[in-house]
Structure 1
């Protein structure tokens, strides 16, 4: 499954992506904001993540930025199974922060989520990462008011985390479009 948004192209990871992935995520300021990624992040971790199979209802995508010389990897976004529900997760490499790429990638996945059968998504961010909370709010998530310790593999322990929720509408026009007015999202499936 592939998603094209206004500036980004979201695609599955391929095993040969491991080195580019490692070069971007080998940054403690990125990894410490993730729950499931270890620190230090090793070549074996990158190989395992890039080779991960896609789950039908919980896909994950490499976020790429198309350009004249190809599409550069800039981060990841996806859905995971969390206690029978779906949870959104994402990261963008530090050199691409502050340009709206996280919000655009999140909105692209949100446009797809109803076609996968999701009607509610959860998300969290560590309190010392308020920028992630702003991304979630811009994408339509609402804080639940629930703040509790959440384990982070990179931090080797729990840190306070705020919970968010988003109730999704049924897909419109077969689920091929979504997001705010003016946003164009196209979902493509491999034959």
Structure 2
């Protein structure tokens, strides 16, 4: 899957992206807010992430800021399959790019893909309570709090921490107004 927005390009990661991915995510303030990324995050972790086979409904896309020159890696977003079978949305943005709206822009593109191309009916998401900015991003994308706070393990923290749960019913049209993705967004990896 690929997606293009006004400022961003979202695409699968390739092996040659490992150094840029490592550089962007190897920050304890980022990793501690993720469930599955370990701390410290090594180049080998980036290489393993990029080598992981994924099904279309459990994809991780690198987020690149489009520039006049080579695109710049600013983060990652995608969908993962929870043990319950639910499809979960997650993302991270490199710290030097916080506050620029990239997470919201990328999230809206992925939600549009989930609805129009992947035909996913419902998405879940969560954020650790000590990261309320992530909850604000989820709400801008269209997610609604479920009212549930539950413990969740963070590999970066090596501990459980309380997490606020969100959901987005794509069939009910709850998503924030997002246009159908550009034709490139509907391309699926074979």
TM-score, normalising length: structure 2: 0.91
Which structure: greater strand fraction?
Answer: 1
Write out per-residue CA displacement over residues 116-168 of structure 1, whole angstroms, 9 at most, x where no aligned residue: 13111000000000000000011111000100111000100100100000000
Write out per-residue CA displacement over residues 53-110 of structure 1, whole angstroms, 9 at most, x where no aligned residue: 2312222100001111111110000000112110001000000000100001111100
| Partner residue, 1:76 | 76
Once the two structures are superposed, the pairs formed by residues 7-22 of structure 1 within 5 Å of their partners are 7-22=7-22
Does the 8 Å CA contact 1:127/1:161 hold for their aligned counterparts?
A: yes
Cα distance in 1 for partners of 2:146, 2:78 equals 21
1:34 aligns with 2:30: no
Which of 167, 177, 181 pairs up with 1:165? 167
Write out per-residue CA displacement over residues 26-63 of structure 1, whole angstroms, 9 at most, x where no aligned residue: 10000000000000001110110122223122221000
Cα distance in 1 for partners of 2:166, 2:180 equals 25
Over the residues paired in the alignment, what is the CA RMSD in angstroms? 1.8
Once the two structures are superposed, the pairs formed by residues 93-108 of structure 1 within 5 Å of their partners are 93-108=94-109
Structure 2, gaps ≥5 residues long: none
| Partner residue, 1:174 | none
Does the 8 Å CA contact 1:108/1:179 hold for their aligned counterparts?
A: no
Structure 1, gaps ≥5 residues long: 172-177
Q: How much has 1:188 moved relative to structure 2?
A: 4.3
Q: How much has 1:169 moved relative to structure 2?
A: 2.7
| Partner residue, 1:25 | 25
Q: Structure 1 pair 55/124, CA: closer, same or farther in 2 (3 Å)?
A: same
Poorly superposed stretches of 4+, deviation over 3 Å: none
